[in-house]
């Protein structure tokens, strides 16, 4: 995708108002993060209540990330064309209404559709934030502004599943979505009052056909995986996945022929970028599926309540936060070696979990040790992977590259949630062990890809 041209900046607001705008942007980011993580804990409870079975568990994990990933780049282009403030407000309003639809859903199909819509509106919100902040803060303050995101989102990653567990146990799973009436409503009121107006650029290009091909690719692959897992590997799931692959070929061709492709072909000719893209897809898919497998194992096999499962996995989220903060200082010195360290730590934690599951010892407080190790490994890789991937990218392509990587990460989350849980459900006896084995194998392959990455991360100004 091409780097969007900067929009005309409005008159600089006061410092107090600028920091209030930052709070609004952060609130929207936190809202998105909470709703992307809560179903890790809540999916078994929702599926049992709506009688949706295993397919609903898989769609709850994959649906939100699917529409978010497919439309993330388009959301950024729409903000360029129609104004970032307008798209942010539309996205926030739609996200809140879709959350209400999730909370009131009477049947499995209704909540899956609502989750897809929720992710689509999330894709309108997220790309606007950095552009809005760049318009209200002086360039010399942007580093300080963006440094706030890591700790806030890290704490949200820890709090999200715990909040979900507490709400489910106290008020039922529907409250987990309906609380967004308050959170989204408050953010909406503040956004209307605080966000600066911008006119957009009516001539900004969109590649709707490329997004359509990408969406069809993901739906074909996900439907095939989930239907095959639930109803057996008949002709239907195979045809669905074959259609997905056919649409992927059309998508690839579109990236070469389109005037404004979603992914710039020149980026794909950069070996370091392409290797990082492949490594990122594999790693994020593996760990996304891993989170669901651990949650399902705790609740299905060990009989944990949602709250107990949330607290059991809290060390994993804590490990992500700790490592992410620590690695921010190390990446400049270690470069791609830091990714290898993170992958090996993730592999060690996954292997330990595999041994404990295989021996029936993964219970009680024992869960905390492999969860913490896995979290430390994931946190070491989060951000580091893509900072190194962009190490050889020309500065003028950085916007296009970072947008592509963010979208690909969400799509990897969707595929991983579906693929790894398919292994889990296909082999009920020992499903967790086999799923962990698959994750460990994928992480091991990622270790081999590290040497193809740029040696150093992109410099931070």
**Residue 147 pLDDT:** 63
**Residue 1 pLDDT:** 46
Q: What angle do the packed helices 208-231 and 235-257 form, to 10 degrees?
A: 160
Separation between Cα atoms, residue 14 and residue 17, nearest integer Å: 5
CB atoms within 10 A of CB 318: 20
Q: Which residues of the chain have pLDDT under 70?
A: 1-13, 142-143, 146-147, 150-151, 154-155, 157-158, 203-204, 396-399, 427-429, 458-461
Answer yes or no: CATH 3.40.50.300 is held by domain 261-461. no
Separation between Cα atoms, residue 286 and residue 449, nearest integer Å: 15
Tokens of 41: 């804990």
Name the residue with tokens 């996954």. 350
Q: Comparing C-alpha atoms, which of 17, 299, 48, 295 is closest to residue 136?
A: 17
Name the residue with tokens 């690909």. 408
Tens-place pLDDT, residues 154-195: 667 667 778 888 888 889 999 989 999 998 999 999 999 998
Domain extents in the chain? 13-206, 207-257, 261-461
CB atoms within 10 A of CB 448: 11
Q: What percent of the chain has a predicted confidence (pLDDT) above 70?
A: 91
Alpha carbon separation from 68 to 250, 328, 355, 387 (Å, rounded)? 21, 26, 35, 21
Tokens of 414: 């969707």
432 within 8 A of 301, measured Cβ to Cβ: yes
Tens-place pLDDT, residues 92-139: 999 999 999 999 999 999 999 999 999 999 989 988 887 888 788 887
Fold that domain 13-206 belongs to in CATH = Growth Hormone; Chain: A; (1.20.1250)
134 within 8 A of 12, measured Cβ to Cβ: no
């Amino acid at each position: 995708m091409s780097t969007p041209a900067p929009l005309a900046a409005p008159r600089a607001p006061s410092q107090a108002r600028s920091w209030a705008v930052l709070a609004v942007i952060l609130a929207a980011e936190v809202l998105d993060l909470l709703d992307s993580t809560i179903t890790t804990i809540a999916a078994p409870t929702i599926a049992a209540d709506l009688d949706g079975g295993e397919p609903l568990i898989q769609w709850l994990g994959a649906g939100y990330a699917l529409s978010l990933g497919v439309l993330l780049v388009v959301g950024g282009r729409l903000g360029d064309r129609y104004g970032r403030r307008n798209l942010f407000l539309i996205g926030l309003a739609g996200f809140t209404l879709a959350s209400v639809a999730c909370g009131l859903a009477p049947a499995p199909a209704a909540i899956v559709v609502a989750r897809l819509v929720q992710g689509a509106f999330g894709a309108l919100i997220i790309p606007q934030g950095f552009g809005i902040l760049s318009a209200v803060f002086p360039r010399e303050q942007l580093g300080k502004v963006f440094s706030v995101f890591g700790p806030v989102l890290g704490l949200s990653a820890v709090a999200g599943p715990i909040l979900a567990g507490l709400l489910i146990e106290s008020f039922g799973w529907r409250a987990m979505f309906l609380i967004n009436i308050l959170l989204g409503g408050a953010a909406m009121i503040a956004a209307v009052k605080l966000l600066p107006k911008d006119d957009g650029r009516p001539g900004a290009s969109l590649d709707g056909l490329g997004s359509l091909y990408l969406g069809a690719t993901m739906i074909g692959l996900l439907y095939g995986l989930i239907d095959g897992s639930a109803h057996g590997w008949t002709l239907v799931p195979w045809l669905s996945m074959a259609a997905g692959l056919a649409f992927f070929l059309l998508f690839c061709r579109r990236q070469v022929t389109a005037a404004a492709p979603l992914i710039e072909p020149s980026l794909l000719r950069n070996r370091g970028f392409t290797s990082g893209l492949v490594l990122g897809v594999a790693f994020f898919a593996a760990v996304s599926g891993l989170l669901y497998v651990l949650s399902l194992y705790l609740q299905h096999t060990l009989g944990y309540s949602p709250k107990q499962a949330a607290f059991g996995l809290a060390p994993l989220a804590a490990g992500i936060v700790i490592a992410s903060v620590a690695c921010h200082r190390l990446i400049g010195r270690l470069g791609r070696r830091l990714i290898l360290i993170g992958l090996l730590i993730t592999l060690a934690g996954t292997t330990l979990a595999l041994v404990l599951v295989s021996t029936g010892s993964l219970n009680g407080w024992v869960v905390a040790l492999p969860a913490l190790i896995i979290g430390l490994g994931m946190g070491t890789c989060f951000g580091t992977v893509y900072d190194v991937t962009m190490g050889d990218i020309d500065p003028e392509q950085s916007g296009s590259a970072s947008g592509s990587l963010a979208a690909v990460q969400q799509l990897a989350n969707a595929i991983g949630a579906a693929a790894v849980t398919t292994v889990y459900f296909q082999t009920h006896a020992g499903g967790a062990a086999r799923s962990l084995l698959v994750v460990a194998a994928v992480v091991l392959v990622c270790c081999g890809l590290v040497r193809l990455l740029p040696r150093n991360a992109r410099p931070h100004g």
